[in-house]
């Protein structure tokens, strides 16, 4: 009976979003590799030791990779090739879980509880979002300029949510929720990347002259402004305030006002596309795993005529406040993904040039 009691308690904690107990999961993705499980345990019990433990595991990965390169086996040896492929897949899985652990640590360091798996509840309305409101904490992980753009992203993906109370309940399919979450992760990844460049140029006083004037090229609203396909729900709205007031950065030495949104619109399309591209297959895999851990694997079938059948898709009830928290967490996850990927690359080279 003991295991059943523990399982019932575990599911209740997952559904309610509580995370005070040391046995409760910090993040929805479950680690599979021995290294990932070890790091997850350290994060739960001795989080201050996690950075050193991650550095050690990255050193181990590099040593394993170097040792494999030194092995002299004829390239025609199919068995050797197969063994090498298996080892490479194991390293990739371990690397993914190291990156994910760094992301989870960022949430822990900022005292943000990650949203647990979305599942059916006993609530009469069918509402699934019983996690706490953490908007202020999620705002604090971004620069003021970046959060201004995040607010525009919220307005775009949630529509006129300010018209009614945030407690208003809406029904939405899990597939659409998953697409919204994944797209917002990608937006957060892109935003952190471009914001780092913006902050660096701002600090170095190398921001382009009069870029607010140049960005008029992009003022005409058209599909070309979208950074990804329309289904991703992501685009960068034009800067409506050409004077740069309100939410912009004021250079007190030269009296110039700069906004990240204007800076993004100033960049050429090739640079935007490069910044909007996820750099590694590990990061792409983690976005997929995080989304599926929250919403489950989508039940989609391909019909004989080639169309997609989503009739088995589950519809859930969620408040506008819950949707806001979901999007804000996704954007933060994407931002932390960029940070974690960059840190790992500094210790263990895995990105393709």
What's the CA gap between 153 and 159, in Å, rounded?
Answer: 10
Domains of the chain, by residue range, sit at 34-110, 135-217+231-236+256-335
**Tokens found for residue 238:** 């034009």
What's the CA gap between 99 and 126, in Å, rounded?
Answer: 34
Q: Which is nearest to 331 in space by CA: 144, 190, 237?
A: 190
pLDDT by residue, tens only, the chain of 353 residues: 444 433 333 332 333 344 443 335 789 998 989 999 999 999 999 999 999 999 999 999 999 888 877 775 556 678 778 888 888 899 999 999 999 999 999 999 999 999 998 877 666 666 788 888 899 999 999 999 999 999 888 888 877 554 556 677 888 888 889 999 999 999 999 999 999 988 888 888 887 765 555 443 433 333 333 333 434 444 444 444 444 444 444 443 343 446 888 888 888 888 888 888 999 999 999 999 999 999 988 776 676 676 666 677 788 888 888 899 999 999 999 999 999 999 999 999 888 76
Q: Which is nearest to 274 in space by CA: 193, 200, 158?
A: 193
**How do 301-302 and 308-309 pair as beta strands?**
antiparallel
pLDDT digits (tens, 9 = 90+) for 272-320: 888 889 999 999 999 999 999 999 887 766 766 766 666 777 888 888 8
Inter-residue long-range contacts of 90-95, CB under 8 Å, 24+ positions, other chains counted: 90/33, 91/61, 91/64, 91/65, 92/281, 92/282, 92/285, 93/32, 93/33, 93/36, 94/33, 94/35, 94/36, 94/57, 94/61, 95/61, 95/282, 95/344, 95/348, 95/350
- On whether the CB atoms of residues 259 and 248 are closer than 8 A, the answer is yes
- Report the DSSP beta bridge partners of residue 309: 301
Q: Decide: helix, strand or coil at residue 78.
A: helix
What's the CA gap between 214 and 226, in Å, rounded?
Answer: 19
- On whether the CB atoms of residues 144 and 246 are closer than 8 A, the answer is no
DSSP string, 133-161: P-HHHHHHTS-HHHHHHHHHHHHHHH-ST
- On whether the CB atoms of residues 214 and 183 are closer than 8 A, the answer is no
Q: What is the pTM of this model?
A: 0.78
DSSP state, residue 352: -
**Tokens found for residue 345:** 């690359």
What's the CA gap between 302 and 274, in Å, rounded?
Answer: 32
Torsion sign, CA atoms 89, 93, 94, 96: positive
**Tokens found for residue 251:** 């250079």
Q: What's the pLDDT score for residue 353?
A: 64
DSSP state, residue 232: G
Q: What's the pLDDT score for residue 325?
A: 92
Question: Would you say how long the chain is, in residues?
Answer: 353
- Report the DSSP beta bridge partners of residue 316: 172
């Amino acid at each position: 009976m003991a295991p059943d009691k523990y399982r019932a308690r575990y599911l209740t904690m997952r559904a309610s979003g509580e995370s005070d107990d040391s046995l409760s999961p910090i993040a929805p993705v479950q680690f599979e590799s021995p290294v990932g499980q070890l790091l997850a345990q350290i994060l739960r019990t001795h989080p201050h030791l996690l950075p050193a433990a991650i550095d050690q595991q990255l050193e181990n990965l590099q040593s394993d990779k170097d040792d494999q390169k030194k092995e002299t086996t004829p390239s025609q040896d199919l068995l050797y090739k197969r063994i090498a492929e298996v080892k490479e897949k194991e390293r990739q899985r371990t690397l993914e879980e190291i990156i994910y652990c760094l992301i989870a640590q960022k949430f822990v360091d900022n005292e943000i509880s990650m949203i647990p798996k979305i599942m059916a509840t006993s609530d009469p309305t069918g509402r699934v979002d019983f996690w706490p409101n953490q908007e202020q904490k999620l705002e604090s992980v971004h620069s003021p300029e970046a959060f201004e753009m995040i607010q525009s992203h919220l307005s775009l993906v949630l529509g006129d949510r300010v018209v009614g109370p945030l407690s208003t309940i809406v029904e939405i399919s899990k597939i659409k929720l998953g697409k919204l979450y994944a797209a917002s992760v990608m937006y957060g990844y892109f935003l952190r990347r471009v914001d780092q460049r913006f902050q660096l140029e701002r600090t170095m006083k190398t921001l382009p002259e009069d870029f607010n004037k140049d960005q008029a090229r992009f003022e005409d609203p058209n599909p070309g402004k979208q950074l990804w396909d329309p289904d991703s729900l992501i685009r960068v709205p034009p800067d409506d305030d050409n004077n740069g007031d309100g939410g912009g950065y004021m250079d007190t030495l030269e009296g110039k006002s700069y906004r990240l949104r204007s800076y993004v619109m100033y960049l050429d399309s090739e640079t935007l596309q490069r910044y909007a591209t996820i750099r590694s297959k590990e990061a792409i895999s983690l976005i997929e795993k995080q989304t599926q851990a929250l919403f489950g694997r989508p039940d989609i079938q391909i019909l004989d005529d080639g169309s997609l059948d989503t009739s088995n898709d589950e519809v859930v009830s969620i408040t506008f406040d819950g949707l806001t928290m979901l999007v804000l967490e996704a954007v933060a996850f994407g931002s932390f993904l960029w940070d974690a990927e960059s840190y790992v690359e500094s210790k263990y080279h895995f990105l393709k040039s």
